[in-house]
Amino acid sequence: MEALDADGIGIGTDARGRVWTIRGGIPGQAVLAGGRPKGGALMSIVEAAPDAVEARCPSFGTCGGCLYQPMPRPAQQAAKEAALTTLLAPLGGGPIEVVGAADEGYGYRNRLELSFGVERFLTRADQAREKAGEVVERRGSYVGFHGAGRFDRIVDVAECSIADPALNAVLARVRADVLASPFAMWDARAHTGFWRHAGLRLGAEGVLVLLYTTTGGEAEAAWLGEAAPRWGAAAVLWYTTDRVSDAAVGDLRAVLHGEARLAVSLGGVPLRLSPLAFFQVNQSGAELLLDVIRRDLGTGGLLLDLYCGVGALGLALHAGFEAVAGIDLVEEGIAEANRNAAALGVRADYRAGRAELVLPGLLADHGVGAGREGRLAALVDPPRNGLHPDALRTLASLPADVLVYVACRPTSLARDGAALLAAGWRCTRLTMVDLFPHTAHVEVVARFERAQATLAPESG
């Protein structure tokens, strides 16, 4: 394997000169792969990378959540930086700045989502034993993560090495009680069973446990009411659903313990969120990301916060601006943003809807136009697919001093950034924030300034 591509997937060349992309392939390795060159499957490691370290997680290679545990953190960052440099070179912006903690990258996740099931996902060693004629346990009761590409098989895990220790401590108690309970795990093929999913979230007040089950009856309710308080969680919420689709969704049945709230902070600004609200999974990494955004935005005037979610970034930055105005599609998130703004005494205007539809009216209400006086700074943090073409056209013609684009998918930034360049912006800085150690994911912050009079990009 020679490098990583823009999505963090390993790239290598075989003996016939064919280029392969292999999920889990690490630069410096020699691997045996199956399937086809585009999207090959890693079968085994023939030779480890020269600088390889031992993966800390016993489920590494089976779980699939982490890809790079055998890579030292500096090597992970260097490989990601190299891939981004190639992808984002057309934007300019100079050398990519790399920001990330200097630790080993374990114990940082503040959120986990696990599944319950009756069939175990087999490791490669299990498959080899089974092929050799040994009896390998498949059916039982399991708690963990779905195996790659399988909705019906569970990688049984006792803990997650990249999760905060507080989550693992509560998980151990939940897991022990659930496995000892008289109620069946969900069978994803037969659509039977009680236990379906468990979510764990760490906030300032402790761990929230979100349990998802089928409807159940009085016996299940009584069991949960007795068990929940002994798990050491700040709160335990019970959601039920009888849908057959495999997703951690449901209607709130009961608050079994504690209060249904998630207390967090960002940049020293306290926020109260609903248990299901989005917040970055890496608290310390989110602080680093915030520092980069604050530097790139500068201060003064109106801050326009697009795809703002629950408003965490805008509210954390509010002290540097006269007012904050934000848009997001999810009404519940906007309601939370407005509640938190009111509690903090922040002058803010958050509105729900599609950015491309709401933005023109929001700008008009704040006097943003050709004759507007005062500074305007734009913060754009879109979903993985990037900006809608209509929203991009409106953004491209904004009379803003600076536009900061936060990308969780660098390929979306490459596409949208090219449109901004064509509309008269120039990229002045690119920063990679290593927010998700040992995984393929990364956040990129791009800072744009006006280069010339803007023209809206062509539609389509």
Catalytic residues: 408
Q: Taken in order 400, 404, 409, 412, is the CA torsion positive or negative?
A: positive
Question: How many angstroms separate the CA atoms of 457 and 296, rounded?
Answer: 24
Other CB atoms within a 10 A radius of the CB of residue 43 amount to 13
Cβ atoms of 314 and 308 closer than 8 Å:
yes
Query: Number of C-alpha atoms within 13 angstroms, CB side, residue 197?
Result: 24
What secondary structure does DSSP assign to 246-297, as a single string?
Answer: -SS--EEEEEEES-S-EEEEETTEEEEE-TT----SBHHHHHHHHHHHHHHH
Nearest to 216 by CA among 256, 163, 168, 158: 256
R_g (Cα) of the chain, nearest Å: 24
Question: How many angstroms separate the CA atoms of 301 and 167, rounded?
Answer: 41
22 phi and psi, to 5 degrees? -135, 115
